Amino acid sequence: MRHAVPAIPQFYVTASQPCPYLPGRVERKLFTALQGDGAVKLNDMLSKQGFRRSQNVLYRPSCAACTACYSARIRVADFFPTKSQRRVLRRNADLTREASTPWATEDQFQLFRSYLSLRHSDGGMADMDIYEFAAMIEETPVRSRVVEYYRHEPPTTGENRQRMAPKPRLSAACLTDVLDDGLSMVYSFFEPDTQQNSPGTYIILDHVEIAREAGLPYVYLGYWVPGSPKMGYKSNFGALEVYQGGQWQNLDPAADVLSVPAPIQREPISDQVGNIKLPDMVTPTLPSNIG
C-alpha cells in the first residue's frame, strides 16, 4: 500500500534526555521529517532558521529551560583567516581534496571509528556500526557531498630498490549539504593522531574556500555552545553570525548573546512552530499531542 507524503510538514518534540554539551542540563529537540518533492526547499528554508539535518530529519534545540545552543554560520565574503589559522593552512598544505556523491566506504568507516574512539568515545555515536554509518552518509533527500581529504606520503624504497609512491591515505572527511545560500557541514571526522595540525579547523577553512569559489555566501557550522569544550571552538572564526531571537546576528564577544543568562524559559512549542517560515506552504501542522 502506498502512502502519500504530507504536503504540510508536521513538527514534534523529542523526550528530554541528558545534555551532551553542558553537565547537569537536559536537552529536547523540535523536529520534522525531510521527505518528498519539497525536501530541498524545506532544508534550505529551515537551515536559515537554525535547523540542522540528520539523515531525513530536520531538528533544532527546544530545551524547556535553556537557550545555550546557537546555530552558527560564517559570512564568506567578510571572512579572513587569523595568523594562527594561516599556520593551520600551511600545516595541511599536503592534503588533497576530493568531493563525491554521498557513498559510504570502508576507509571512511575505519577513519570514523578511530576518530570516535579517541575524541568522542562517550558520545551518542560511539556504538554506531557500519550499517548505521552508511545510513548517516547515504540517507539524504537533498543535495549532499562527501568531501574527503587525502594525505600523500613521501615515496618509499621497496625491496627492488625502486622508489615507490604509497597510496594516498584518507586523513579527513566531511558530509556536507549544498544549500541555496551556502554549505552546511553536517558532520566531519579526521585522523586523531593528526590533531596537532588542527584538521578540524582546516576542514572549516577549506569549506569557506569552497563556498567562495562557488559564490555561496555562508558556511553553516552547526551549533555553537558557549562553555562547552566540544562546541566552543566555533567562536574562533571571524565573520561569525548566530541565530538568536528569530534572526541572524553578528557574534560580538561583548554583545548580549554572551551575557544572556541561562537557563531561560522558552516560548511554548505551539508558538515556536507557528513562527517557523515555510517555503510555498501554509501554516505548519501541530499534532494534538504537543503542547
| Residue of 187, 186, 156 whose CA lies nearest to 169 | 156
| Phi-psi sector, 43: left (phi>0), alpha (psi -120 to 50), beta | alpha
Give this prediction's pTM: 0.86
The average pLDDT across 153-167 equals 63
Most confident of 8-17, 160-169, 181-190, 268-277: 181-190
* E strands in the chain: 11-13, 17-18, 26-27, 29-33, 52-54, 57-61, 70-75, 95-100, 144-151, 156-157, 163-164, 169-178, 182-190, 218-224, 240-244, 247-250
Task: Look at residue 258 and tell me whether its pLDDT is greater than 80.
Answer: no
Q: What is the CATH number of domain 74-223?
A: 3.40.630.30
Q: Which of 4-8, 33-37, 136-140 comes out lowest in average pLDDT?
A: 4-8
Cell numbers representing residue 65 in the block: 529551560
Q: Which of 18-27, 37-46, 75-84, 185-194 comes out lowest in average pLDDT?
A: 18-27
- Mean per-residue pLDDT over the chain, rounded: 86
Model pLDDT, residue 161: 55
| Residue of 44, 106, 49, 92 whose CA lies nearest to 204 | 92
CA angle 270, 55, 169 (to 5 degrees): 145
CB of 208 within 8 A of CB of 202? no
Q: Which residues contact 78 (CB under 8 A, 6 or more apart)?
A: 238, 239
Scored b (16 or more CB within 10 A) or e, 52-71 reads bbeeebbbbbbbeebbbbbb
The average pLDDT across 29-35 equals 94
Q: Which of 78-92, 142-156, 208-222 comes out lowest in average pLDDT?
A: 142-156
> What does the pLDDT look like over 95-106, one tens digit per residue?
999 999 999 999
- Give CA separation, 27 vs 66, 150, 221, 230, 273, in Å: 8, 36, 19, 16, 18
Query: Phi and psi dihedrals of 109, rounded to 5?
Result: -65, -40
- Determine the Cα–Cα distance for residues 9 and 286; give it in Å rounded to an integer: 9
180: helix, strand or coil = coil
Model pLDDT, residue 198: 94
Task: Look at residue 259 and tell me whether its pLDDT is greater than 70.
Answer: no
Boundaries of every domain in the chain? 74-223
The average pLDDT across 138-145 equals 96
169: helix, strand or coil = strand
Which residue matches cell numbers 595541511? Answer: 92
Q: Which of 38-52, 229-243, 256-270, 271-285 comes out lowest in average pLDDT?
A: 256-270
CB of 25 within 8 A of CB of 19? yes
**% the chain with pLDDT above 90:** 61
- Split at pLDDT 50, 70, 90, the class of 270 is confident
Q: What are the residues facing 44 on neighbouring strands?
A: none
The average pLDDT across 189-202 equals 93
The residue among 201 and 128 whose pLDDT is bigger is 201
Model pLDDT, residue 238: 93
Scored b (16 or more CB within 10 A) or e, 158-177 reads eeeeeeeeeeeebbbbbbbb
**% the chain with pLDDT above 70:** 82
Q: What is the separation, in whole angstroms, between the first and last Cα of the chain?
A: 32
